[in-house]
A = this chain, B = another copy of it.
Amino acid sequence: MTRGFDADCLATREILNRVGDKWSVLVIVILGDGMRRFNDLKRSIDGISQRMLTLTLRSLERDGLVKRTVHPTNPPSVDYELTPFGRTLLAPVAELALWAQRHRPEVQRARDAYERAEKGTGRAGKR
Contact = CB atoms under 8 A, between A and B. Distances in A.
A64 B107 contact: yes
A11 B20 CA distance: 13
Contacts of A11: 97, 100-101, 104
A43 interface: no
B8 A26 contact: no
Contacts of A106: 64, 85
Contacts of A29: 9, 12
Interface in A92-121: 92-93, 95-101, 103-104, 106-107, 109-111, 113-114
B12 A101 contact: yes
Interface of A: 6, 8-9, 11-23, 25-26, 29-30, 46, 61-65, 85, 88-89, 91-93, 95-101, 103-104, 106-107, 109-111, 113-114
8 contacts: A8-B101, A11-B100, A12-B93, A13-B25, A14-B100, A62-B111, A85-B106, A92-B95
